[in-house]
Structure 1
Amino acid sequence: MPLRTLETWPHGAIMLDAQHTRFALWAPDAFYVSVELEDGKSIPMLSQADGWFEVEIKCPAGTRYRFNIDGERDVPDPASRAQASDVHGWSLVVDPLAYHWRQSNWQGRPWHEAVIYELHVGALGGYAAVEQHLPRLAELGVTAIELMPLAQFPGERNWGYDGVLPYAPHTSYGTPEQLKHLIDSAHEHGLAVILDVVYNHFGPDGNYLGQYAASFFQEDVHTPWGAGIDFERREVRDFFLDNALMWLLEYRFDGLRLDAVHAIDNPGFLQELAQRVRQQVDSGRHVWLMLENELNQASLLKHDFDAQWNDDFHNVLHVLLTGETDAYYSDFAQDPTAKLARCLGEGFIYQGDTTRHGHTRGEPSAHLPPSAFVAFLQNHDQIGNRALGERLHQLCSPQALEAATALLLLSPMIPLMFMGDEANAPEPFLFFTDHHGELAEAVREGRRNEFADFAAFHDPERRERIPDPNALSTFEQSMPTLPDAAHLQLYRELLRLRHRHIVPHLPGSVALGASVLGDSAVSARWRLGNGSVLHIDLNLSATALPHPASPHVLFQTPANHGAQLPPYSARVTLSPAGEHP
């Protein structure tokens, strides 16, 4: 297949030069399509093979346009590069070359150097406001920021997973040029930038594709969001493949995190996406591809993708730290200590095992390197999918959290933190949307009914107290402040140790196994690429355990254990190559 360029992407409005734009729309159910311009001009599009309509016209950047289907309805461009206002209004012609890059020689960072900071652009105030945080994140030891989805969604505020125009960065965060400026500035600080993309569904408001391209979807395939997307169709595949390439080539993102790929019933699409990206990106450039995948498909991590978000790591640690076993945590309630040991020694906990629903989940993963797993104590999901959005530091003892943080930041897995973790931000991160009318009511009631299985919300009256996702106050409560300098020091010290002693030797690392020391206590070892052995002992119980002292302690909390592993503690040792730990 030929390489894609700005001129050969088929979907949407592509500028050919400063004054001319090519418009293309796949509308197999339409008889007639025209481009409607805000100045009143209507230009018929030429019918092409396989349901395509296309036309080239004199049309500069900034022009407002939309498509008209069969003279009956106006719709936005599904591949709009920007919207003038909301998802229902005018699309904008965008010049992809208008921004002049300052860091034009940036080639990214190797994957093993990744320390990821996930953030929500809106909750931090937009692209320009996020830029203000870059110096402190770089100084802290973060090497990459990950932006929650940016695709244009209905309303002014949303987590981003209700996007309906995947090519258009949301207008409330800033312009496409401001997004590029943020990425450029991040590169200036040595920070890679990852984008969370949603290719498994469209949001519930503003998606018009079904009105003129019904075959974009498979009505006989059901997902939590409606009919599945038909990835067997070439036009549909290219719509998403070209979107991934746009973010990586035009915006110069350094990586993508693919949301909930277990809802994409087409592994061939995932493999093609990875292969297309590797073909298109310059060979000297580092580009990262990550998955969120409940199926724990280790096979996708062998060649095609760099890593998977390891929910198993979070889930079992959450059970051990908080004692909560409601809903999906019940899969980790039985013998959680042994499950944590398996996670540290083999990557996934569920490797073909049966879940609470009676389904098998996962594939064997012990053959994969530790860097194939992105570990986290919490992320947007695990905080925001709580009814009241509490953060982990509000749910467990500070000593236990400090020990777990040492495990997170010093294990050979790739660590991820969520905005505010580093400062024990007191604000919740709630689920927020900006829907209206019947949809707003459905989302509000649906949100509250989600928690009927949680013991604390069996009572319908208590569920009524769950914040309304559509209320502006729900969003405003989720905007974090970062006041806790003392907690920042913990992250700064752990990341200093990681970058100095662990990161340089991560390539070639292998897990040497993990064992149970006692209730809520484990010991795990890894051989790093230089032959040294990293050893982490973790005790999340209230009981001290006898444990041999070591002359090679890299970090411990609390300090000066001696021959003991105190309650709620971690000890990290690094033994030189050839010396038994």
Structure 2
Amino acid sequence: MSGHFRHAMPYGAQLQDDGRTRFRLWAPDADQVELVFEESTHAMSALDDGWHECVRQAPPGTRYRYRIRPELCVPDPASRLQQDGDVHGASVVVDPAAYPWQHADWRGRPWHEAVLYELHVGACGGFRGVQATLPRLQALGITAIELMPIAQFPGRRNWGYDGVLPFAPAAADGTPDELKALIDAAHGLGLMVILDVVYNHFGPDGNYLGEYAAAFFRSEGPGTPWGAAIDVALPQVGDFFVHNALYWLEEYRFDGLRLDAVHALHDPAWLLSLAARVRAAMSGRQVHLILENEANQAHLLGSGRFDAQWNDDFHNALHVLLTGESAGYYGAYADDPMGKLVRCLGEGFAWQGEPMRGKPRGEPSGDLSPLCFIHFLQNHDQIGNRALGERLTSLCEPAVLEAACALLLLAPPVPMLFMGEEWGSRTPFLYFTDHQTEALRDAVREGRRKEFAEFESYGQAETLPDPNAASTFERSRLDPHDAASPEGLARLTLVRQLLAQRQRHLAPHLQHAQAMGAFALGKRALHASWRLGGAVLCIYCNLGDTPAAIDVTPTAGTQWLHGNPAAIAAFRAGRLPPACTLVFLEPSA
């Protein structure tokens, strides 16, 4: 296989075999479009269906924009790179095949080996900083890192969900070649790299599509919490995002994509079409597609469609058990969190068509593989959307959190850790932005204050961190020295041991794992089991502060995967100790 990769797409600046560059823009609302270089301007030819095209001598590094009206020049919506990261400025011609890949023969890893690690690139030191952490993560037992969105956003810091140029890696994180070097290095270590992509909305600053392609957005029907809904059912729009998916997979060689909040797209048919087109194009590689989907649409998962979905039900039910919190969306889980947790372990979703807040939610999921669900104790949303960005290490006792960690890492669903979780980091992960206008800064600041004004425990709204302050971002950066503390080293040792057990005893059999049931043992303890090859995987977890009574006798062939001798002895005597998870394999009957 060649060590040079590129994705051919009908948009943007494409280098041609004759050395020239073809520029193409879909601008159905523009009567005339001009291609603007730094020292010259060229009329673009109007093609059918709103397309405009121009072919010129423009080597890599050439800066360009499109003039839509005499007073309006815009960047290329398919820009591969923005000069200085300016979402209002010039786009830059890039040679996508210039990077010499060192691991061009990488084909990926199977999904049943996945252990995900979500991180924010900027908070980890940019693409180079993330690359430097790869050997440590690989030694820990991580098999895939998942990057929060990196599409070009306004300013120097952002969670990534305010991106407006979806093909351009954010300049604040590094150059396109530095991103490729990160992925190349990951592949050399046997690590997959997953990218979080946003196809349901654009950020509030720097999106010019409405100025020349109003049809890009839906004029009727439901919108989104973040602005106008995108009309992916329109072929030119839907194809734009299909090409974006293929671009990241082919040109950057990502191993998969996590699609943000697909329920806000309101178009399951397009999602299935996207999956089919990606599968067809990536037939020679193992590429994985992940959903975030509040609608719990089980029919989108498995059978060559989407590999898995973030299972918020698992997190929310477990969070209520760990913290006792019931505000906001946790309220829907507060009446029976253990019942909802065991349903997640035994059947996938907690809601499978039953009403939630007065509306039916979800579809039956009991026939899906456990690998169709990604479980987590924490992620960027569940930490960062708290007013003060606290992690679970600040909200519950260490022993209880360790018990939950063992449940997460040794249950068959795909586990995910959030950066720093592996050593019990107490560094907050706050909501941060760098909006360039005072109006947007004020709107975001006031929005956060209103959102949390009802929560008395957070104190006065004025004490909330200002999302636009540079200090808010700096406070969210990990301090790796925390990992060297006695507590950090102990947690790292635990996670490393659990992941080693997962890869040795679970991973070889997870493709055919079958849930055998999950049951509550009182209000704060549970038992769950899965058929796993020629054995049965059994998990007993007690998140309470008193022992739970059990009625089970391990056989002579029991193989213990997790549990200290004292806890195992108590278990044999009919008691599951508090703040304890025991995991073992029994021979299958």
Q: Which TM-score bucket, shorter chain as reference?
A: over 0.9
**Structure 1 residue 559 displacement after superposition:** 4.5
- SS of match in other structure, 2:187: helix
Hey, what's the Cα distance between the residues in 2 that align with 1:310 and 1:7? Answer: 32
Shift of 1:549: 4.8
Counterparts of 1:452 and 1:521, CA distance in 2: 34
| Residue 275 (str. 1) matches residue 276 (str. 2) | yes
Secondary structure of 1:162 counterpart: coil
State whether structure 2 residue 577 is matched by structure 1 residue 570: no
Q: Does structure 1 residue 560 correspond to structure 2 residue 559? A: no
Contact 2:28 2:213 in 1 (8 A): yes
Matched residue, 2:194 = 194
Give CA deviations for 1:333-365 in whole Å, capped at 9, x if unaligned. Answer: 01111111111100100111222x312111110
1:508 paired with 2:512, answer yes
How many residues end up aligned between the 2 structures?
Answer: 567
State the one-letter code of the partner of 2:70: G
1:282-297 alignment runs, 5 A limit: 283-297=283-297
Describe the SS at the equivalent of 2:229. strand
**Gap runs ≥5 in structure 1:** none
In 2: Cα distance, 1:90 partner to 1:284 partner: 36
- Structure 2 Cα separation of the partners of residues 37 and 246 of structure 1: 25
Residues 556 and 226 from structure 1, CA distance in 2 versus in 1: closer, same or farther, beyond 3 angstroms?
same
Displacement of 1:425 = 1.2
Q: Provide the rounded CA distance (Å) in 2 between the counterparts of 1:487 and 1:549.
A: 30
Give distance in 2, aligned partners of 1:17 and 1:167.
Answer: 22
Partner of 2:251: 250
SS at match of 2:238: helix
Distance 1:305 1:558 in 2: 41
CA contact (8 A) 2:6 2:97 kept: no
Cα distance in structure 2, aligned partners of 1:70 and 1:54:
16
- Corresponding residue for residue 60 of structure 2: 61
Q: CA deviation at 1:267?
A: 1.1
When the two chains are superposed, the root-mean-square deviation of aligned CA atoms in Å is 1.3
TM-score (norm. length: structure 2): 0.94
CA displacement at 1:232 relative to structure 2 = 1.8
- Deviation of 1:481 after TM superposition, in Å, equals 1.7
CA distance in 2, matches of 1:571, 1:470: 45
State the partner residue of 2:524.
520
Shift of 1:71: 2.6
Q: Residue 339 of structure 1 corresponds to which residue in structure 2? A: 340
Pair 557,226 (structure 1): closer, same or farther in 2 beyond 3 Å: farther
Cα deviation, residue 455, structure 1? 4.3
Report the equivalent of 2:89.
Answer: 89
| Counterpart position of 2:385 | 385
Distance 1:354 1:450 in 2: 25
Write out aligned runs for 1:44-443 (5 A). Answer: 44-85=43-84, 86-221=86-221, 222-281=223-282, 283-303=283-303, 304-355=305-356, 357-435=357-435, 436-443=437-444
Say whether the 8 Å CA contact 1:66–1:91 is kept in structure 2.
yes
AA matched with 2:184: D
**Secondary structure of residue in 1 paired with 2:81:** coil
Deviation for aligned residue 1:6? 5.2
CA contact (8 A) 2:166 2:244 kept: yes
2:547: which partner in 1?
Answer: 544
Q: Is the CA contact (8 Å cut-off) linking 2:560 and 2:585 kept in structure 1?
A: yes
| Cα pair 2:145 2:194 within 8 Å, conserved | yes
Give distance in 1, aligned partners of 2:149 and 2:365. 28
CA–CA distance in structure 2, aligned partners of residues 8 and 571 of structure 1: 52
State the Cα deviation string for residues 109-158 of structure 1 (Å, max 9, x = none): 00000000000000011101111100010000000000000000010000
Q: Is the 8 A contact 1:345 1:514 kept in 2?
A: yes
* Partner-residue secondary structure (3-state), 2:123: coil
User: Distance between the aligned counterparts of 1:9 and 1:134, measured in 2?
Assistant: 31
Quick one: which amino acid aligns to residue 561 of structure 2? L
- 1:14 is paired with a residue of what secondary structure? strand
In structure 2, the CA distance between the partners of 1:19 and 1:139, relative to structure 1 (3 Å rule), is same
Q: Could you tell me how far apart the structure 1 residues matched to 2:244 and 2:390 are?
A: 34
Name 2:491's counterpart in structure 1: 487
Q: Secondary structure at the match of 2:220?
A: strand
User: 1:541 touches 1:567 (CA, 8 Å); kept in 2?
Assistant: yes
Question: Percentage identity across aligned positions?
Answer: 58
Q: Deviations over 1:353-382 (max 9, x none)?
A: 222x31211111000010000000010000
- 1:33-60: CA deviation from partner (whole Å, max 9, x where unpaired): 011012x210111000000001111110
What is the distance in 2 between the residues matched to 1:558 and 1:390? 33
Where 1:123 maps in the other structure, the secondary structure is: helix
Question: What is the letter of the counterpart of residue 466 of structure 1?
Answer: L
**Following TM superposition, by how much is the alpha carbon of 1:486 offset from its aligned partner in structure 2, in angstroms?**
1.5
Q: Structure 1 CA distance, aligned partners of 2:6 and 2:561?
A: 50
Separation in 2, partners of 1:560, 1:540: 14
SS of 1:228 mapped into structure 2: coil
Q: Which amino acid is the alignment partner of residue 512 of structure 2? A: G
The answer on whether the counterparts of 2:6 and 2:250 sit within 8 Å (CA) in structure 1 is no
Change over 3 Å in CA distance of 1:399–1:8 after alignment to 2: closer
State the AA in 2 paired with 1:535: C
SS at 2:279's partner residue?
Answer: helix
How far is 1:227 from its partner?
A: 1.6
Once the two structures are superposed, what CA deviation does each residue of 1:487-531 show, in whole Å capped at 9, x if it has no partner?
100100000100110001111111001111112111001001x23
* 1:561 to partner: Cα distance: 3.3
2:501 maps to: 497
537-546 vs 550-559, which moves further = 550-559
2:313 alignment partner AA: D
1:535 aligned onto 2:530: no
| Alpha-carbon shift at residue 285 of structure 1 (Å) | 1.1
Q: Distance in 1 between matches of 2:57 and 2:34?
A: 15
Greater shift in the superposed pair: 295-304 or 178-187: 295-304
- For residue 219 of structure 2, give the secondary structure of its aligned residue in structure 1: strand
Letter in structure 2 aligned against 1:553: W
Deviations 1:62-97 (A, max 9, x none): 111010013331000011000012101110001110
Q: Equivalents in 2 of 1:553, 1:411: separation in Å? A: 14
Task: Work out whether 1:22 is the aligned partner of 2:25.
Answer: no
Counterpart of 2:433 in structure 1: which amino acid? Answer: T
Letter in 2 for 1:244: A
CA contact (8 A) 1:402 1:557 kept: no
Task: Tell me the TM-score normalised to structure 1 length.
Answer: 0.96
AA aligned to 2:586 is S
Alpha-carbon distance in structure 2 between the residues aligned to 1:403 and 1:560: 12
Q: Which amino acid aligns with 2:479?
A: T
Q: How far apart in 1 are the matches of 2:464 and 2:11?
A: 41
Aligned pair in 2 of structure 1 residues 17, 160: CA closer, same or farther (>3 Å)? Answer: same
